[in-house]
Amino acid sequence: AQKVTQAQTEISVVEKEDVTLDCVYETRDTTYYLFWYKQPPSGELVFLIRRNSFDEQNEISGRYSWNFQKSTSSFNFTITASQVVDSAVYFCALQDYKLSFGAGTTVTVRA
Amino acid sequence: GAGVSQTPSNKVTEKGKYVELRCDPISGHTALYWYRQSLGQGPEFLIYFQGTGAADDSGLPNDRFFAVRPEGSVSTLKIQRTERGDSAVYLCASSLAPGGVENIQYFGAGTRLSVL
């Protein structure tokens, strides 16, 4: 069974601070994909990033970066120089074909 | 349309009634998924279609829930004899394919179902 754990329930920061969201996953699959989605107050889930299990290279995309460590089954996500518009619930998800989501981390960025 | 469209955006019904929730996926996407999100939780998988057929309906909670996708595009989630516990946001997603590099799922805004 697939399982995703986001230990942080809420994070509150002041604008321009960096925010790192933790994600730990469990799977018996050898090939899988990991995702981060953002859910703003409007409710729509917005795709942010995707990483496949056979590529552990960490990347940066604009203000987003991620750290994938297969050895510890972790897929952490960082927002650099946070902005008020980053305030949302962030979900980590594991995919075989369907997505298994964590419980989400609510990020509040204060001006 | 450019994105996944779900209608209605809100549905209020009475316990015991029948409801239908509609999902119009992104054009050309063969895979379609339904999820349910309860307050304060992550979305939970309900059912997945590849084309017209339900490839995996293991997430449907009981036989009051049923979904169809007769022409491989629009899908309808049907709930019979609604119960107060069915109240949630029902999310639909679509992807080009269920696996591989074309597996990014794009979500609609959801239907908020309230059963009184």
Nearest chain A residue to B106 by CA: give it.
A47
Subunit contact A43:B41, Cβ cutoff 8 A: no
Whether the CB-CB separation of A106 and A50 falls below 8 Å is answered with: no
At B19 the pLDDT is: 98
User: Choosing among A37, A98, A105, which should be mutated to test the B contact, i.e. which has the most B CBs within 10 A?
Assistant: A98
What residues are paired with A100 via a beta bridge? A94
At B2 the pLDDT is: 81
pLDDT in tens, chain B (116 residues): 589 999 999 999 999 999 999 999 999 999 999 999 999 999 999 999 998 988 899 999 999 999 999 999 999 999 999 999 999 999 999 999 877 777 899 999 999 999 99
Whether the CB-CB separation of A95 and A29 falls below 8 Å is answered with: no
**B contact residues 19-78, partner A, Cβ 8 Å cutoff:** 31, 33, 35, 40-45, 48, 55-56, 59
Q: CA-CA distance, A107 to A10, in Å (whole number)?
A: 6
Q: Which residues contact A71 (CB under 8 A, 6 or more apart)?
A: none
A44/B contact by beta carbon, under 8 A: yes
Nearest chain A residue to B93 by CA: give it.
A45
pLDDT of residue A85 exceeding 80, the answer is yes
Q: How confident is the model at residue A55 (pLDDT cuts 50, 70, 90)?
A: confident
Q: CA-CA distance, B56 to A87, in Å (whole number)?
A: 34
